[in-house]
Structure 1
Amino acid sequence: MKMITAIVQNDDANKLISSLREKGFSCTKLSSTGGFLSSGNTTILSGVDDDRVEEEIEIIRKICKTKKKVTAAIPPSSFSTVGGYLPQTIEVTVGGAVVFVNSVDRFEKI
């Protein structure tokens, strides 16, 4: 058995969970916050039999695509917005998923 931990963007979380459940996977949803852009994201935990790991990862790949987002560049701390600093916008890639697969030594459903 494996534990899949997938960190996904909030926008993709509900669709991913629905798709996983349709295919017979169970999962637990945890709210989390990412370090980059302090954006909200969701961590999904799922216990999976070894022979179904790739199937679940393919579902995650299908749902959690990267996207381009335009955001304000964060000024260095020595700048002041009062002093006339106008933040520049930058385009960044967001979305996708970060997936960890770990072996589970013991599993009990009580």
Structure 2
Amino acid sequence: MKLILAIMSNDDSPTVSTQLNKAGYQVTKLATTGGFLRAGNTTLICGCEDDAVQRALQIIEKHSSKRTEIIPNTASYDISHFSSFPLEVQVGGAVIFVLDVEQFYKV
């Protein structure tokens, strides 16, 4: 048995979790916060049999789109001079961990 932890944008998580549910996966959804942009993320937790992992990964990949956003950036050149200019960053996609599960109980 495997445990899939998929960390993704809040924008992608409703579609990903819906598609995983339609494919027969049970998903637990956690609200998390990212470090780089301090933006809201969602972590999906899904347990499945070893032979079902690849299909779950395909669903997550298909519905977790990477996209480019322009965000405001403030860079300080010295203590008295500040400059504000837009910064282009890539957001979206997913970070996925697949872990071995030694035991599973549902009570």
Structure 1 residues 29 and 18, CA gap change in structure 2 (3 angstroms): same
Structure 1 residues 33 and 77, CA gap change in structure 2 (3 angstroms): farther
Q: CA deviation at 1:78?
A: 5.7
CA distance in 1, matches of 2:78, 2:48: 49
Q: By percentage of residues, which structure has more strand?
A: 2
Give the aligned residue type for 1:105. Answer: E
Query: Which residue matches 2:92?
Result: 95
1:104 paired to 2:101: yes
Query: Which residue matches 2:51?
Result: 51
Structure 1 residues 6 and 78, CA gap change in structure 2 (3 angstroms): farther
Percentage identity across paired residues of the two chains: 38
CA distance in 1, matches of 2:45, 2:54: 15
1:69 paired to 2:66: no
CA contact (8 A) 2:74 2:82 kept: no
Name stretches of at least 5 consecutive residues in structure 2 with no aligned partner.
Answer: none
User: Following TM superposition, where does structure 1 have runs of at least 4 consecutive aligned residues deviating by more than 6 angstroms?
Assistant: none
Structure 1 residues 78 and 105, CA gap change in structure 2 (3 angstroms): farther
Q: What RMSD in Å do the two structures reach over aligned CA positions?
A: 1.5
Name stretches of at least 5 consecutive residues in structure 1 with no aligned partner.
Answer: none
- TM-score (normalizing by structure 1): 0.91
Q: CA deviation at 1:74?
A: 3.9
- For residues 6-62 of structure 1, the C-alpha deviation after alignment (integer angstroms, 9 at most, x for no partner) is 000000011111000000000100000000110110000000100000000000000
